[in-house]
Structure 1
Amino acid sequence: METEWLRTFIVAAKTENFRETAEKCFMMQSTVTKHIRHLEKELQTTLFERNSKQVKLNSVGAHFLHQAEKIVEAIDEAMNSTASFVNGFTSQLTIGVAPQIANSTLPLIIEIFQQKRPAIQLSIELLKSNEIGEAVYAGQIDIGLSKLTSTRDLQTEILAQEPLQLIVPMSKMESDAMTLLQQETILTHEYAAYWQEVQQVLGQFPSYKSMNLNQTEVIKNFVKQGLGIAFLPKSVIDADHQQQLLYSCSVQEFQHIVSNTYFLTKYVTADIEAFLEVCQIIYNNNDTAFCNN
């Protein structure tokens, strides 16, 4: 039984269209037909009901689809594992990370970790903070770097408690912060755990306006274009501030509000401990930078 037959069958079973299968698999439709016939001959049964206009997966085909997917997944895992071994990797970690972290501290974390542990292959998955805890608990990822904690029974470390900064367009850097909060649209997203605290303080401005964007990078771009202002953790906006792409400042009324970053894992191994250690080093250095700014 050829693996290629199985891959063709999986696509054909999901599309129930040999022409579409051929397009998706970049092969001739006649080749799709041959692969299915070879597979049916090997299994000594039919997998599709055929008529002049269409093919339809039968009950045997539906049962075999699940088995075929498991076989292909196991083969792919074995191939990837062997390729990693040949390339000098001895183990692998899958990291689920919130976009806000991926766009700020993650590159430095990865750089330092790979210097310290070059034999560990890393795989990165971008997830929303509210999805990361569940992914860790389900075993889909080994480590979660999230802006939210989890209700699941997980090993949890607080990596950082960062002060919030008010970010405004460079053209309005001389404006009074309190005036801006009353006049400008305040940009935020629902997965910012600190937003409720910000709202409580904003209660003294009954006329304030807000817009939900759900993506930190979009929020920053809107601010740069003069489309609003926002509260974001310091690490997220430091690079833009230093390059004078936007202006950031601390507002006394909001100084008690912090943005937490969490390290989540279901189990602890030497590799995971090593990754945690690098995260702590990076965030501790950032804390020192915060104090010096």
Structure 2
Amino acid sequence: MELQQLRYVVAVAETRNFTRAAERCRVVQSALSHQIAALERELGARLFERTSRRVRLTPAGEAFLTAARECLEAADRARAEVAAAAGEIRGRLAVGTIPTVAAVDLPAALRDYRRRYPRVRITLAAAGSDELVERVRQGGVDVAFLGLPPRAEPKGVQSRRLGGGELVAVVAPDYHRVENEVDLRSLADEPFIDFRVGAAGRAQSDEAFAAAGVRREVPFEVSSAELMVDLVRQGLGVGMLPAAYAPSFPDLRVIRLRDAPMRVEHLIWDNRPSPAAMAFLELIRADPADSA
């Protein structure tokens, strides 16, 4: 069993197509198919079901895929550890972030990191805080930026608070109210656009309204800040965004809240960070824009 065979299995499993998998691995399809067939003979089990229309994993393939990914990650980590011992940072850095991160200038941080460590392959994925915690736990993401209610702490990962800030209400330019600062009670009768129930972004607002003794209606539940903003632009309701992020949308009106919800941003990472991840953590720690 060779690492290249494991890479071929992962590629076919992810593309569900032998031709696309061969293109990804930069080999001819016949060579990839031959290596997977040889691996199946060695294992004594078929890893894929092949038809004229599709390719899918067998139960044995599903079990093998998890182990194959773990082996490839271990091999990559071993190479990175050896390179780090020789003074070179290489490997991969998978970064996750909430779209509304404000405590760190993430694009600038990634730029500086790439200039400093050009041998590291960087990827970036945006998701909700809860999903990012799970991705870090499972090893799919090395470091991630979250936004949580003040009393919440990410569990099962290492973490550091970067800073906190207030949320503001955002409304369409022709919103009927003229005040630039209100309390939550005065907005109780407005329709709200917010994240789904249970999401960290929703919890910040729900906790603040509960503390104010106010019930509100949320007829529009969204999965992204971009969709929230699009709905706000159409005058469908009031949105809630971090005060440091709201200026990204200058066409919206911002209303300050005297009893504003609060959000705390966190940087999280795995319990055994790779050399590439450690280098990123050090860069963020040294960033003067980091509010920790």
TM over 0.5: yes
Normalising by structure 1, we get a TM-score of 0.64
Q: Which runs of 5+ in 2 are unaligned?
A: none
Aligned counterpart, 1:239: 248
Q: Do the aligned partners of residues 9 and 201 (structure 1) sit closer, same or farther apart at CA in structure 2, a change above 3 Å counting?
A: closer
Aligned counterpart, 2:94: 94
Provide the alpha-carbon RMSD of the alignment: 4.8
Give 3-state SS (helix, strand or coil) of 1:200's partner. Answer: helix
User: How far apart are residue 187 of structure 1 and its match?
Assistant: 1.4
Give 3-state SS (helix, strand or coil) of 1:235's partner. Answer: coil
| Counterpart Cα distance in 2 of 1:98 and 1:209 | 25
Q: 2:72 is matched by which residue type in structure 1? A: E
Q: 1:124 is matched by which residue type in structure 2? A: L
Q: 2:263 is matched by which residue type in structure 1? A: S
| Counterpart Cα distance in 2 of 1:75 and 1:161 | 36
Q: Do the aligned partners of residues 249 and 72 (structure 1) sit closer, same or farther apart at CA in structure 2, a change above 3 Å counting?
A: same
Residue by residue over 1:202-253, the C-alpha shift from the partner in whole angstroms, topping out at 9 and shown as x without a partner, is: 644x5x4213223222111111121111221112211213xxx10112122x
User: How far apart are residue 40 of structure 1 and its match?
Assistant: 6.3
Q: Which runs of 5+ in 1 are unaligned?
A: 288-293
User: How far apart are residue 76 of structure 1 and its match?
Assistant: 8.6
Residue by residue over 1:51-76, the C-alpha shift from the partner in whole angstroms, topping out at 9 and shown as x without a partner, is: xx9999999x7599459935983699
| Counterpart Cα distance in 2 of 1:6 and 1:267 | 24
Find the structure with the greater CA-based Rg.
1
| Counterpart Cα distance in 1 of 2:153 and 2:31 | 49
Pick the structure with more helix per residue. 1
Aligned counterpart, 2:208: 198
| Counterpart Cα distance in 2 of 1:127 and 1:7 | 26
Q: Do the aligned partners of residues 120 and 260 (structure 1) sit closer, same or farther apart at CA in structure 2, a change above 3 Å counting?
A: farther
Matches within 5 A, 1:105-254: 105-114=105-114, 117-119=116-118, 121=120, 122-148=122-148, 149-152=152-155, 154-172=157-175, 175-176=178-179, 181-189=187-195, 190-192=199-201, 193-200=203-210, 203-204=213-214, 208-210=216-218, 211-241=220-250, 245-252=251-258, 254=259
Normalising by structure 2, we get a TM-score of 0.64
Aligned length: 261
For the 8 Å contact 1:8–1:21, the answer to whether it is kept is: no
